[in-house]
Structure 1
């Protein structure tokens, strides 16, 4: 699988002179023939410009330059497979540095999809005629009916943000509008906050509240009502590794609890039970069939697809 470990293995095995990735910086890693070929296989003629943008981003970000090079490389490959630029001024995708307190306080990088990235991937499907997500100011919406999604348009009376709205119209005529009040956004933020004080504004919610709120509504809108291409589904899966603690400004934050909590929850929700011989036999048979199916499927997957699908596994392995 084309995760951090598999990329490391490729580097060690494929170079003319055996390379230990752990001893190389990000520039040296990017210049190895193995990595150059991987980026070319995904981006074709755009690979040179993309790798240069990665190096420029790292060189101009003190925190990111301190992150483990292989984590930067893996995150950059995720962006490459989605064909999204990582220029933080554009806001499509980010390489976000964070401190992993459970792994010796190491600085690492992870891929993060911006709300503009969601819009870009949606437009690529060719199924959306219009799509938008934005904050709503006091007075702009009156008498919102969540059942019929009808409301009266009003005039903005102040700079106070009272909610967030997402909307799309598809080429087949289907329309959908989602509106979340500020209170609903806060309820969502607090519910998924991993900070000790859940009500405290920290990280990106403190510095870029509106951007995170817009992204929250947009993800809900597209994930629940939109047409998701395979590319969009994979992007949502990758972005979901740590949806609530992301600093779009590029500042390091602690997302260790976000990475590990999903596994902890699964362990609590799936208690062990005593199985009969028949159940055990049936499960064994099913596993064999599943393994055969997975083996056949993997032969058809490209390296770029593997990277997307296995990113969660990589994030979990870094606990």
Structure 2
């Protein structure tokens, strides 16, 4: 005859087996569904929570190491993208990458362009790469000027990257960086060894110049602050983003949000087990 302890052990074993059957992807999908209303509130009108959840899951499938990250940081990265109205993935608006056991949010070149255009004060903004065979010259001072005529055929190695913004009032701003300066800034990034710096170097170089030019653009303080959302880890959806650009950070693997969720799950499971035991 089974004792009370035997019954408890059997119930506990069943609960563990049930939890083990759920894959990390299924766990994330469940959390994203639960977060749907909050994501919907953060998104601009042309986007919806279901689409953002699908894109986030696709990103995790293409970067499997994300599934090894702290769940709360993953949800925080998705919320970062939602709040900025940027879609992670191949379109290049933004990226979600594993940084140790934390998910890191990175704005892409196209994302920076999109954010700048939303200001309403910019007519056009773009960036280009200059190679050694190109015809290129620029001058600063009272009458700044920039001339670039790309070569045809083999253009050689990258030499410079520049960005230009034309304002609706007729003014303009441009910034130029040589490759050495680009490399210095890349080396300060914690994402320099993987992700878009490896797969889309030129796009990230362009974003670097636009990011440097950001403070000179005629955009609101709120829009200025959005650029600081680049290369950050958010330990849960309620915490402030922590920059991983330039400075190393100490990361606590379990956030308050994830601990709270786990405790609620354990309490619910314990209550269910006790209910089953009382019926024996």
Tell me the TM-score normalised to structure 1 length: 0.59
Distance in structure 1 (CA, Å) of the matches to 2:212 and 2:67: 33
Alignment CA distance shift 1:142-1:50 (3 Å): closer
Indicate if the aligned counterparts of 2:105 and 2:232 stay in contact, CA closer than 8 A: no
Q: How far did 1:78 drift?
A: 0.8
Residues 1:138 and 2:132 are matched in the alignment: yes
2:86 is paired with a residue of what secondary structure? coil
Aligned to 1:311: 241
Aligned to 1:98: 99
Alignment CA distance shift 1:202-1:69 (3 Å): closer
Alignment CA distance shift 1:155-1:189 (3 Å): closer
Indicate if the aligned counterparts of 2:105 and 2:231 stay in contact, CA closer than 8 A: no
Q: How many residues align?
A: 217
Q: Deviations over 1:127-155 (max 9, x none)?
A: 11111012112243434223343244445
Aligned to 1:75: 77
Indicate if the aligned counterparts of 1:72 and 1:108 stay in contact, CA closer than 8 A: yes
Residues 1:174 and 2:165 are matched in the alignment: no
Indicate if the aligned counterparts of 2:125 and 2:164 stay in contact, CA closer than 8 A: yes
Alignment CA distance shift 1:217-1:37 (3 Å): same
Residues 1:234 and 2:225 are matched in the alignment: yes
One of 49, 52, 65 as aligned partner of 1:50: 52
Structure 2 residues without counterparts, runs of 5 or longer: 1-23, 253-280
Q: How far did 1:168 drift?
A: 0.7
Aligned to 1:39: 39
One of 136, 155, 159 as aligned partner of 1:159: 155
Structure 1 residues without counterparts, runs of 5 or longer: 1-22, 100-106, 196-200, 243-258, 260-303
Q: CA RMSD in A?
A: 3.2
Q: How far did 1:80 drift?
A: 0.6
Q: How far did 1:185 drift?
A: 2.4
Tell me the TM-score normalised to structure 2 length: 0.66
Q: How far did 1:221 drift?
A: 1.3
Aligned to 2:30: 28
Instruction: Indicate the structure (1 or 2) with the bigger Cα radius of gyration.
Output: 2
Q: Deviations over 1:81-118 (max 9, x none)?
A: 111112x210001111121xxxxxxx221211111111
Q: Deviations over 1:200-256 (max 9, x none)?
A: x84354543322221111101122x112334432322221548xxxxxxxxxxxxxx
Indicate if the aligned counterparts of 1:111 and 1:239 stay in contact, CA closer than 8 A: yes
Distance in structure 2 (CA, Å) of the matches to 1:38 and 1:189: 34
Distance in structure 1 (CA, Å) of the matches to 2:36 and 2:52: 11
